[in-house]
Amino acid sequence: MEESLKTYEEYFSQAVEVRMRHYEKEGRLQHVMLSHQFSISLMEELFDIADHVKEMTRKPNGIEFLKSLLCHKKAMLYFTQPSTRTFLSFLTACQMVGMDTGEVRDPSLSSEYKGESQEDGVRVFSSYFDMIIMRDPKPGFCEYMAYLLDSTGRSVPIMNGGSGKDQHPTQALLDLYTMHRSFQKTGGIPKKRYAFVGDLLRGRAVRSSVMLLSQYKDVEMEFIAPSSFQIAADLEEYLLSQDVNIHKTDNLESVISSVDCIYMTRIQDEYDLSGESNLIDYSKYSLTPDNVSRMKKNSIILHPLPRRHEISPEVDADPRAMYWRQLRNGVYIRAALLLYVFNVAHRLKEY
């Protein structure tokens, strides 16, 4: 068995569809790695669980029942890429279903200084905990760890909490869950126009959400960005191959009054190599009470947060602003995912 272990490079030379199958066990999700893993039917199952969880957290005895469901499980939160928001969202999701947690949030505290490989480090976590929730700056690191752990015969589920510039599947899920809830009375996610605004090249949240959204019928997508930050060629090709109706523009004003959803993002200048973000006229890619007033009445504004200046704080009070609700939805959908992965979601009916 050991002889056949693939190197990092060999592993990623496989197509995503092949890798995806590694992350299943007995026909169910074992590791949460890629947006590609979420079909519409699986998403709807998760949305339904999340709705139940949300409902139950309204009352003390609902909260106590939820906390009994996974009180025999423990999760390791391994965040070598700092992220207060995603970290706390996973932490509170774990607490919501009763899981104990351990954490490493600062890579300098780890054993690596003693020369241990990160592979061994992750294997240590799998010896102590029943699940590893991981965020790492190296693209594909989570996937490769899941593959190695599976090969040891003593694996635990791993959840990708954001890897590199690449994938952030639980962010995509919470984005879609928020669209799902917001459009419940207006026909749901299909047949609507979605605008994505800002740094479409480097924001992994957009990339992951667009992948999920493209599965729905008759969605139209507007990509609004300076040309140097437009969506990557591979994503565009993929969308065209899926027959998604897409448009690219650098003019937010031209579409603002006709879309059902505006997904704002910040310019990710921490990835700048030579200050390319400085050349952008940010005001062209921002929302203020003035241009928001031209949006459709039932439309919604999303943002993965943190924001800078791309949405002015005065917009927060507008009923179309859904980004704070989106943030809270993240906890419910992550709790739903925990219940799903440990196969206890059916017990919600006992309540």
Per CB under 8 A, residues contacting its own copies are 1-2, 60, 63-64, 67, 71-72, 74, 76, 82-85, 88-89, 91-92, 95, 100, 102, 104-106, 109-111, 113-116, 119-121, 123-125, 127-129, 152, 154, 266, 270, 305-308, 313-314, 316-317, 324, 327-328, 331
C-alpha pair distances (Å), 171 with each of 131, 159, 196, 283, 332: 19, 12, 15, 26, 12
Dihedral over Cα of 240, 225, 301, 265: its sign: positive
Known catalytic residue at 31? no
Known catalytic residue at 168? yes
Closest separation in Å from C-beta 242 to its own copies? 31
Residues forming a β-bridge with 248: 223
- Nearer to its own copies among residue 259 and residue 335 (C-beta): 335
Known catalytic residue at 85? yes
Q: Which residue among the candidates 19, 52, 135, 204 is catalytic per the annotation?
A: 135
Three-state SS for 349?
helix
Closest separation in Å from C-beta 59 to its own copies? 8
- Nearer to its own copies among residue 148 and residue 252 (C-beta): 148
Segments in 214-293 forming alpha helices (H): 233-241, 289-292
Closest separation in Å from C-beta 152 to its own copies? 7
Closest separation in Å from C-beta 114 to its own copies? 5
- Nearer to its own copies among residue 22 and residue 328 (C-beta): 328
In 3D, which of 240, 262, 246, 257 has the Cα closest to residue 307? 262
Whether 158 contacts 131, CB under 8 Å: yes
Known catalytic residue at 101? no
Give the DSSP H/E element, type plus range, for residue 6: none
Q: Which residue among the candidates 54, 73, 168, 204 is catalytic per the annotation?
A: 168
Known catalytic residue at 114? yes
Q: Which residues are catalytic?
A: 85-86, 114, 135, 168
